[in-house]
Structure formats: structure tokens, C-alpha cells
């Protein structure tokens, strides 16, 4: 309730629910992945990420409704399901490796239910309510001999990331029961948006510790940007003497300069002949205009430079960019890109085309490169 339609709000360029759906799909342990919702927009995003949708009834879509009620309703419609992994959309740092290990605990080791926990090193004290004539007492420490963090194992707390349970437990009204086990998640992967409601902080956590796909990220060496609708807003102004004019955002020019300073080549592409416009902008970038087949051009550049697709980033906005977006290791679209381009992209900018989207995508690339460099140091 605190953030309207939070489950599909963009977090680091991906709808919040997209992070957990990507992990669930890539884990390869589920026969099917479903999103339970009563909202059309959430259904649309779920299907974009390959999930199937169960439309919840009004009875289990109230503010007071629980996840357990929604799961039980789902099972009433799907008698073929024996085990349910209930994954919360608000845990964007979930990784497929976590889900694979949990599935093994149930399928191979015979547990009836498994839930996620995180280890915390926090000292607890008893609560003293206003008006009570007593003092607080330590709950898990001796004040005369306080543990150092490295000398204390800490305590396990549920983090709400996921709850796996067999059907017979859920039908009895339990998500935890029978032969139980906990699965301890790494602290850096235990990001809960219900708690970390400061969105920029949550985005930094996800960029550092989130799951970005099966293949490891690599250093980006080439960014290819569609001119119309990305570098410009796609509008063409015609003067009385039939001269064309376009507008661009100076922030995007700064973004291109920053990319070049980081050693990343920037190349531009357009389906129309905009040579005069590019000449006037004086960007100093290799460009291909009148490109009838953008993918063919992109493949030529990639091969000539001897790059793997993981070293190529692409920013597009139209249906003609879709195949390029799918090929590139890092892909993005402006906020006002067409629906099929948004579906193909890994990152959706907050900015529209011609209004800072290139600069924003550049910043996204820099943040992900920090992740790459940090992994190398480890």
C-alpha cells in the first residue's frame, strides 16, 4: 500500500517482480512459474517475463487476504501440483542457486517445508511499555560480557524471501510444518523492499548483488545507440524552407563523452538518412544511416571489433531494434519505447528518448561495470 503497484515499479530498470521471475525461470526446478494477481498491468508484466498468470478471485484479493489463501485457491484449480514454492516479489536479490538448493531439500532430502532465513547480529532487549514500573532486560546477551561480532554466530530470522511446502501441508492451512528446514540466504542477497523502502538504496543493493542472467557480466566495450527515439525524441521539425530540425538533450552528449573516457566506443544507427543532423551535432561517433537491417550492421561491427555479444550494449526503442536488443549483452530502452522493445530489453530507463535516456543508460552501464570489477577482485 505504501508504493502503488510496487510489484511492477521499475527497480534498476527492471520491474520489481521481474527480478524474482528471472531467477525462478533460470533455476530450472519448476514445472511451471505462475504469478497470482487480480491486476491487468501486473498480468501483462508477468507474461513478458515468461510466467503464467492465475487471476485471483475477489475473495482472496482483499487488503486482509493472506498469501496462504491465494495459494490454496490456486491449488484448488491445479490438482497436478504437489509442491509449491511461494516466492515473494519483494525479494529482488534472489538467485537461482538458492532455489535449486531448496528444491533439493524437499525432493531429495524429504523435507515437507523449507523457508528462507538470514543471519543477523543484533542484540535484543525486552520492551518496556509506557507507564510500566520496570526496567528493560537483555534478551540474548550478557551486558557485562558483550560479544564481538566475529565471536558471536548471531541469530536466524525469517526474511520472507520464499516458503516452499508440500500440498498436504498447505491444504491443512500451513506453509511451515511437518519435517521443516530453513535455508540460510547470504545477507547481501536478503533485500526486502517491504523494509528497504528507500528505492535508490534498494537499487544500489540490486545492482551490486542481484541476479542478471545465466552468463556472467563482462566489460562493455561498445555501445550502439539508435538515433531516432533514443538520442533524439523522434520528432522532426520542418521549417518553411523545408529544412529539417531535431532536438537533443545535452545530458546525453555528456553521457556519450563519459562512455568514451571509460574506453567504451559509441556508435550510432538510424533507419533514415540523418547525415546532416549528425554532422551538425559533432559527436565524433561512427554512424550508420539508412540502415535497412540494424542487426546486420550490429553483427558487422561486433565481428570487426572482435567482441563477444556480452561486450556489446545496445539502446533502442522500436520494433526494428528488437533483435539487436536480444543479442546484446546489455540492452536498454527509453521509458517511451514501444511495448515489444521494452519486452526485449534488460533495462527500461526512467527518461524518455531525447530527454536523458542515453546518459541514464550510460550510468547503468557504469554501475554494472563496478559489479564486474568487484567480482574480479574477489
Q: Which residues are tagged catalytic? A: 146
**Backbone φ and ψ of 151, nearest 5°:** -100, 0
d(CA 188, CA 181): 21
Q: H/E element holding 250?
A: helix 250-261
- Residue 372 near residue 219 (C-beta atoms within 8 A): yes
Report how far apart, in Å, the C-alpha atoms of 40 and of each of 7, 14, 69 are.
Answer: 12, 18, 20
Neighbours of 355 (CB within 10 A): 21
**SS3 call for 175:** coil
CA distance 360 to 351: 7
Residue ranges of E strands in the chain: 10-11, 14-15, 34-37, 52-55, 83-87, 113-120, 155-166, 180-184, 222-226, 237-238, 244-245, 265-269, 286-288, 312-315, 330-333, 347-348
Comparing CA positions, the residue from 305, 312, 350 lying closest to residue 331 is 312
Three-state DSSP class for 224?
A: strand
Amino acid at each position: 500500500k505504501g508504493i502503488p503497484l510496487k510489484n511492477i515499479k521499475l527497480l534498476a530498470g527492471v520491474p520489481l517482480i521481474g527480478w524474482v521471475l528471472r531467477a525462478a525461470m533460470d533455476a530450472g526446478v519448476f514445472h511451471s512459474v505462475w504469478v497470482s494477481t487480480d491486476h491487468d498491468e501486473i498480468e501483462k508484466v508477468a507474461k513478458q517475463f515468461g510466467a503464467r498468470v492465475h487471476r485471483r478471485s475477489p475473495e482472496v484479493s482483499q487488503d486482509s487476504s493472506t498469501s496462504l489463501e491465494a495459494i490454496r485457491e490456486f491449488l484448488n484449480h491445479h490438482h497436478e501440483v504437489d509442491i509449491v514454492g511461494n516466492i515473494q516479489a519483494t525479494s529482488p536479490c534472489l538467485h537461482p542457486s538458492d532455489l535449486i538448493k531448496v528444491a533439493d531439500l524437499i525432493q531429495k532430502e524429504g523435507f515437507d517445508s523449507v523457508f528462507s532465513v538470514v543471519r543477523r547480529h543484533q542484540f535484543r532487549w525486552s520492551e518496556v511499555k509506557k507507564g510500566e514500573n520496570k526496567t528493560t532486560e537483555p534478551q540474548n546477551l550478557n551486558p557485562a560480557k558483550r560479544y564481538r561480532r566475529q565471536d558471536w554466530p548471531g541469530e536466524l530470522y525469517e526474511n520472507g524471501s520464499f516458503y516452499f511446502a508440500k500440498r498436504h501441508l498447505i491444504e491443512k492451512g500451513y506453509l511451515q510444518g511437518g519435517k521443516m528446514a530453513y535455508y540460510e540466504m547470504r545477507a547481501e542477497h536478503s533485500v526486502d523492499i517491504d523494509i528497504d523502502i528507500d528505492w535508490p538504496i534498494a537499487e544500489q543493493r540490486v545492482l551490486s548483488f542481484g541476479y542478471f542472467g545465466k552468463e556472467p557480466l563482462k566489460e562493455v566495450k561498445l555501445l550502439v545507440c539508435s538515433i531516432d527515439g533514443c538520442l533524439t525524441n523522434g520528432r522532426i521539425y520542418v521549417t518553411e524552407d523545408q529544412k529539417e530540425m531535431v532536438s537533443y538533450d545535452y545530458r546525453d552528449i555528456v553521457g556519450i563523452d563519459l562512455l568514451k573516457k571509460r574506453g567504451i566506443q559509441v556508435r550510432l544507427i538510424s533507419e533514415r538518412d540523418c547525415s546532416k543532423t549528425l554532422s551538425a551535432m559533432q559527436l565524433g561517433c561512427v554512424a550508420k544511416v539508412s540502415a535497412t537491417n540494424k542487426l546486420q550492421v550490429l553483427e558487422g561491427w561486433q565481428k570487426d571489433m572482435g567482441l563477444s555479444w556480452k561486450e556489446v550494449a545496445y539502446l533502442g526503442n522500436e520494433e526494428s531494434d528488437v533483435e539487436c536488443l536480444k543479442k546484446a549483452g546489455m540492452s536498454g530502452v527509453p521509458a517511451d519505447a514501444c511495448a515489444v522493445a521494452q519486452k526485449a530489453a534488460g533495462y527500461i530507463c526512467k527518461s524518455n528518448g531525447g530527454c536523458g535516456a542515453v546518459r541514464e543508460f550510460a550510468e547503468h552501464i557504469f554501475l554494472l561495470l563496478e559489479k564486474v570489477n568487484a567480482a574480479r577482485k574477489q
